[in-house]
Amino acid sequence: MAAIDYPLQRPKAEPGEFSFSETLYKWVATVDHKRLGLMYVASALIFLIVAGIMATVMRVQLMFPNGHVVGPDTFNRLFTMHGTSMVFLVGMPMVAGFANYLVPLMIGARDMAFPRLNSFGFWIFLLGGLLLYYSYLGGGGLSGDGSAPDVGWFAYAPLTERGFSRGHSSDYWALGVLVSGFGSIASAINVIATTFCMRCPGMTLKRMPMFVWVMLIDSWLIVVALPPLSAAQVMLLLDRYLGANFFNTQNGGSAVLWQHYFWIFGHPEVYILIFPAFAILSEVIPIFSRKPLFGRPAMVAAVVAIGFISLGVWAHHMFAVGMTSWSNTFFAASSMLVGIPTGIKIFNWTATMYGGRLRFTTALLFCCGFLFQFLLAGLTGIMLAVAPFDWQLHDSYFVVAHFHFTLVGGLVFGLFAGMYYWFPKAIGKMLDETLGKWHFWLFCIGFNLTFIPLHFAGMLGMPRRIYTYAPGRGWELWNFVATIGVFFQIAGILFFIYNVLRSTLRGQPATDDPWDGWTLEWATSSPPPEYNFEKLPVVRSSRPLWDLKHPQDPDWKWE
């Protein structure tokens, strides 16, 4: 008996040619989860390039002491826009993009639960991003004070209050982030509803692909964690326009209150950002190791545990604000607890590779880069959780190095792995592996060259967010090397852009299942038709295509 009931004739993508305006209309008016997913990823990549250029300017400024490439105001706007863009306009749409594209395909659904909400989410996110960048033109307001926001991505009060932030720059920051947050919440609600209501016959929660599990938890975290930020943005706007004085210390408000609001969102946020990488690794590593994910139940439990614990660690960003020794001890302890489930994840990925037959495609190379870098990021995270050590490291370049190791060395490496892995499915062409390996090695070397030295600069007392520094404090060498690394990273990214363009236009056509995959997205054509599956599949295990390909040894026998 066949383990699974599949449409044997795959649906063909619809033929026909369209004029430019018809094509444009089809993309703008679409409610198809795959198109929206691609649009999310594409706009995130554009913001990634813009914010990456900003980072380059900052690194060039800091390459030598007393740098004069940009002035203090420009520099402060650069790091504010870089951080805000990377978190809200690159990380968040990447979450939404990957989830949108893959969740319905992986659970055998025809679309998301709420296609129009999905479309709303994308366009309002884009509006938020454009609002933020419009500040370069409109931030001055009538008085001509200011331009883009210059308050840092966590915009600590009272620096954002009227007394210290004239013009409209902080308004654009608050509105842009608030509006793009609506998009993220909409998309998260959609993912939750889709995974709970739209799974194909036979796909119990136990059989759901790990990618979908992680995205589900991620979406729950977004729904729980983003509203405090939205509330704080509204309170800030009330402060600025209606004299509410929540955070306005000049009138008795509390500066620490903003930090609590921000970080009760902000810490879960970093897990929201890293979870997609967890999700991608949990699919890519098994395929290229030719083994199922080791310890699946433990992996699910670890993600759920990280989700819960992450809601109770926010004040480790605030060890220096003068909390009581009891509070500091509590948040040090809860922060260290996160290390346990995170460790379980790294161990299980390694165990998945152990005993396998590793095929080092570009996607798996990026996963391996992730494992080493995320390990280091986790360990520096433990150092930061030890509050006395954090009193020294907090707000220094060590912290900058730490979170770039999680978000670039972790998230971005995971995203690249995902792009190399799913590009054939989404576009129907293979990405070139030789160019991919150039991309990987240049980016990996450049990344480590940039961010390893910054740990040492931080331990030598270099605070973050300084636009210049005097010579003679032992920071010159580390900053110089860090900037050299940036050029390697740029070269790597150029290889990636070239690879994507070249492969899209005249790459080798992809088969429906180029990697010998096990999850349902590989059971439909590449790229999938609008309705995904002609006939809804029925599954009996967590690896339905394995069952189909190995009728003598199907997974469901072991469930």
Partner 1 sequence: MFEPALSVLLQTQVPNVHEFRITNIFKPLASPAAAERTAAYLVLAITAVIFVVVAGLICYTIVRFRRRPGDNELQEPPQVYGSNQIEAAWTVIPILIVFVLIGVSARVIAAIQNASPPPQSVKILLVGHQWWWEVRYPDYGLVTANEIHVPVSSDGKHATYLQLTSADVIHSFWVPQLAGKTDLIPNRINYTWIDPRQPGVYVGNCAEYCGTQHANMLLRVIAESSEEFNAWMSAQRKPANNSDTQLSAAQTVFGSLSCVNCHMIRGTSAIGAFGPDLTHLMSRQTLGAGVLVNNTENLRAWVNDPQIPKPGCLMPSMKLTGPELNQVISYLQSLK
Hey, which residues between 156 and 195 contact partner 1 (CB under 8 A)?
A: 156, 158-159, 163-164
Instruction: For the CB of residue 99, give the shortest distance to partner 1 in the complex, in Å.
Output: 26
Element (H, E) at 12: none
Nearer CB in complex with partner 1: 16/472: 472
Per CB under 8 A, 379 contacts partner 1:
yes
Q: Kind and range of the H or E element at 200?
A: none
Q: Would you call 252 exposed, middle or buried from its count of C-beta atoms within 10 A (0-12, 13-18, 19+)? A: exposed
Q: Which is nearer to partner 1, 27 or 164 (CB)?
A: 164
- Asked if residue 70 binds partner 1 (CB under 8 A), the reply is no
For partner 1, the closer of residues 177 and 185 by Cβ is 177
Q: Which of 56, 64, 237, 538 binds partner 1 (CB under 8 A)?
A: 64
255 binds partner 1 per the rule CB under 8 A:
yes
19 binding partner 1? (CB under 8 A): no
**CB of 462 vs partner 1, minimal distance in Å:** 8
* Nearer to partner 1 (CB atom), residue 32 or residue 555: 555
In 12-114, alpha helices (H): 20-28, 33-62, 72-84, 92-106
The reply to whether 298 sits near partner 1 by the rule CB under 8 A is yes
Return the closest-CA partner of residue 255 out of 164, 126, 144, 358.
164
> According to the binding rule CB under 8 A, does residue 152 interact with partner 1?
yes
Q: How far is the CB of 557 from partner 1 (least distance, A)?
A: 11
Span 451-490, contacts to partner 1 by CB under 8 A: 459-461, 463-474, 476-477, 480
Of 303 and 368, nearer to partner 1 (C-beta) is: 368
Q: Can you tell me which of 32, 150, 283, 521 binds partner 1, judged by CB under 8 A? A: 150
143 forms part of the interface with partner 1 (CB under 8 A): no
User: Which of 314, 372, 317, 306 has the alpha carbon at shortest distance from 340?
Assistant: 306
> Could you say whether residue 511 binds partner 1 (CB under 8 A)?
no
How many whole angstroms separate alpha carbon 314 and alpha carbon 226?
Answer: 13
Sign of CA dihedral 375, 381, 385, 391: positive
DSSP state of 51: H
- 134-151 in b/e form (b: 16+ CB < 10 A) is bbeeebbeeeeebbbbbb
Q: Are 200 and 108 in contact (CB under 8 A)?
A: yes
The token pair at 200 is 């194909």
Please tell me whether the peptide bond between 551 and the residue prior to it is cis, using omega within 30 degrees of 0: no
Quick check: 11 binds partner 1 (CB under 8 A)?
no
Among 50, 127, 337, 484, binds partner 1 (CB under 8 A): 337
Q: Least separation, in Å, of the C-beta of 84 and partner 1?
A: 14
**Is residue 290 close enough to count as binding partner 1 by CB under 8 A?**
yes
Return the residue of 11, 52, 65, 115 that touches partner 1, per CB under 8 A: 65
Nearest to 461 by CA among 393, 518, 379: 393
Residues 77-136 that bind partner 1 (CB under 8 A): none
Cis preceding-peptide flag for 453 (omega within 30 of 0): no
Distance CA 183, CA 190 (A): 11
Stretch that binds partner 1, among 67-75, 119-127, 428-436, 445-453 (CB under 8 A): 67-75
350 belongs to the binding site for partner 1 (CB under 8 A):
yes
Our finding on whether 249 is near partner 1 (CB under 8 A) is yes
Least separation in angstroms between CB 555 and partner 1: 8
Q: Does 201 bind partner 1 (CB under 8 A)?
A: no
Q: Footprint of partner 1 on residues 307-336 (CB under 8 A)? A: 320-322, 324-325, 328-329, 332-333, 336
230 binds partner 1 (CB under 8 A): no
Please report how close the Cβ of residue 273 comes to partner 1 at its closest, in angstroms: 21
Strand partners, 396: 463
> Which residue number, 50 or 383, has a Cβ lying nearer to partner 1?
383
Structure-derived torsion over alpha carbons of residues 101, 102, 108, 114, reported in degrees to the nearest 10: -40
**Residue 83 tokens, joined:** 């951080």
**Which residues are paired to 463 by β-bridges?**
396
- CA gyration radius for the chain? 24
Cβ–Cβ under 8 Å, residues 439 and 499: yes
Which of 466/491 has CB closer to partner 1? 466
3-state SS string over 455-476? HHHHHCCCECCCCCCCCCCCCH
Site string for partner 1, 394-433 (x = CB under 8 A): xxx-------------------------------------
The minimum distance between CB 293 and partner 1, in angstroms, equals: 8
102 vs 384, beta carbon nearer partner 1? 384
When the beta carbons of 357 and 506 are compared against partner 1, the nearer one is: 357
User: Does 392 interact with partner 1 (rule: CB under 8 A)?
Assistant: yes
Q: Is 386 in the site for partner 1 (CB under 8 A)?
A: yes
Shortest separation between residue 265's beta carbon and partner 1, angstroms? 19
Q: Any contact of residue 76 with partner 1 (CB under 8 A)?
A: yes
Residue placing its CB nearer to partner 1 in the complex, 122 or 469:
469
Report the residue number, 223 or 333, with the smaller CB distance to partner 1.
Answer: 333
Smallest gap, in angstroms, from Cβ of residue 347 to partner 1?
A: 5
Q: How many residues bind partner 1 (CB under 8 A)?
A: 102
Q: 214 to each of 39, 94, 140, 385, 522, how far by Cα in Å?
A: 22, 14, 42, 24, 19
d(CA 172, CA 176): 6
User: Torsion angle of alpha carbons 377, 183, 136, 266, nearest 10°?
Assistant: -30
CB atoms closer than 10 angstroms to residue 54: 20
> Are 54 and 81 in contact, with CB atoms under 8 Å apart?
yes
Nearer to partner 1 among residue 403 and residue 469 (C-beta): 469
